[in-house]
Amino acid sequence: MPIRRISSKWAKTEAMLASSELRGLVPDTRPFNRDAVRSMLDEYGMIYVKPVNGTFGKGVIRLGKSTGSDDAYTLQAGEKQLSYPNFDGMFDALLKVKRPRPYLSQQGIELLKHEGRRFDFRVMVQMNPSGQWETTGIIGRLAHPRKIVTNYHAGGTPLPMETLMTTHLEKAERTSRSYRMELSKLGVDVASSLGRRFPGLKEIGIDVAVDVDLKPWILEVNTMPDPYIFLRLPDRSVYRRIRRYATAYGRFRRIPRASAKSKRRRLVKR
């Protein structure tokens, strides 16, 4: 059976919202329109506008609303942030920046920071050779200091979870091991929920934000996750396991090893 891919962020969000275990971990997400943007900014103060179908953080726009300031609204796409005195001016600018395709609006989560830069996590979950979902890798992504997304392809820096979380966890008297287990379980729960809705899934990459209370939030799920980011971890066994599982379910071709006899023949010819 081919590996199933689901491109629509909205379809995946709806599947998670149907799960009693997960819906409290999914930020408020609504189809993009003027009323949704206005009401969500009033409620949350910050939201992200994202293409329904998109990868690598491309096309993501951050909107903000402040109080007690003449420049009450902000819009940032890429490295440039613009300010507007009213909602109408900001929304008109947004319509010029966004591409003519479906978007959604998502509640903004104030991410934890490391050395003044925001970060989140990519949690890799795969179907193992026994046919069970297993979290095979967790890696941190430290945002470029001038950008709103953490993606490696947008200038983010991959780092071990412990590098980013140890200080925050120590303040809360928690351990990296226990938090890793929490994220691992979350990964399996998400994969199991999506797998029931979309049979044929074999792998997912979950973008997880962590807020100041150490609560994990599921920002989005990628059904064709990049395994190569895990090569940036010091522990290469993580990537090797990811590669082994992906080969088992058919994402990568198996490269047959030459027999010892054929190897000897090549050596003799040399």
**pTM of the complete model:** 0.89
Establish if 265 belongs to a structural domain.
no
Name the strand (E) or helix (H) holding 123: strand 117-127
Task: Assess whether 35 and 14 both reside in one domain.
Answer: no
Task: Assess whether 16 and 101 both reside in one domain.
Answer: no
Is the separation of the CB atoms in 225 and 124 below 8 Å? yes
Question: How many domains does one find in the chain?
Answer: 2
Task: Assess whether 217 and 157 both reside in one domain.
Answer: yes
Establish if 167 belongs to a structural domain.
yes
Q: What CATH number corresponds to the domain at position 93? A: 3.30.1490.20
Distance CA 138, CA 135 (A): 8
Distance CA 251, CA 234 (A): 24
Is the separation of the CB atoms in 24 and 2 below 8 Å? no
- Length of the chain measured in residues: 270
Q: Which of 108, 138, 164 is the last residue of a domain?
A: 108
Establish if 266 belongs to a structural domain.
no
Task: Assess whether 83 and 146 both reside in one domain.
Answer: no
CA-nearest of 18, 27, 23, 47 to 105 is 47
Q: What is the pLDDT of residues 113-172, one digit of tens each?
A: 999 999 999 999 999 999 999 999 999 999 987 777 777 766 689 999 999 999 999 999
Q: What is the pLDDT of residues 24-83, one digit of tens each?
A: 999 999 999 999 999 999 999 999 999 998 766 678 999 999 876 666 999 998 788 899
Q: Which of 108, 124, 139 is the last residue of a domain?
A: 108
Establish if 70 belongs to a structural domain.
yes
